[in-house]
Chains A and B, each alone.
Chain A
Amino acid sequence: GENVEQHPSTLSVQEGDSAVIKCTYSDSASNYFPWYKQELGKRPQLIIDIRSNVGEKKDQRIAVTLNKTAKHFSLHITETQPEDSAVYFCAAPSGAGSYQLTFGKGTKLSVIP
C-alpha cells in the first residue's frame, strides 16, 4: 500500500511570509494528490489537488508542485494570513486503481500576526 510522509509537523511563520509543506509518497503509480485544510473541530476541506500529468497548479495564494521522479509534492502558501492557521494534510491514492486515500500525519501551521 501507499506510504505518505509529511514534513514539517509544525510550522510557524510571520504574517505575509510564505509557507511550504512537503510530502513524499511510495507508490510510483499514484496519480492524484489532494491537499486538505482542517481547522480545529471542523471537517477537512479540500483546498487544491494535482494530477500526475502536470507539474504545478496554482489557485490564488496557494500552489502545489509535483515531482514524479522524486515522488514528492509540496504545498506553497504565499502572503500568509492569520486565517491560514490550521492543520494541513496531504494525501495520495492507496495503490494503483484505488480510490481510497492515504493521508499524511498533518502539518500544524501557525501564522503569527
Chain B
Amino acid sequence: DTAVSQTPKYLVTQMGNDKSIKCEQNLGHDTMYWYKQDSKKFLKIMFSYNNKELIINETVPNRFSPKSPDKAHLNLHINSLELGDSAVYFCASSQVLRLATEAFFGQGTRLTVV
C-alpha cells in the first residue's frame, strides 16, 4: 500500500494551459505539503496544510492554488502554465505540524511545460 501517492507521475503540457496534480495519503497524518524540486535538485516548500487549513504559502505565484478537500488529500492546481514551472513537484505528509517530525514523500510529478 502506497503511503503518499500522487498522480500523474509525468505531465507534459503547453504554455498557458491549466493542470492539476492530485495527492492522497493513507497514513492518517494531519499535515500535508507541496514541495518543488528544480533542475539542480533543490527542494523548496510551496505550501503546507494542517487539517485542511492553509498554514504556509511560501511566496508562490497565485497561479498555483492548493486545495484540501479533507485531511487525506491535497491537490495542486496550476493556471496559465509557464516554462519556468517545469520541475518535479512532490507531495508529502507528516503526522503533526511540529519540529522534527518525519516527512513522507510521494514519488513526485515531473511537470514539463513546452
Mutual binders A and B: no
- Chain B residues proximal to chain A, CB less than 8 Å: none
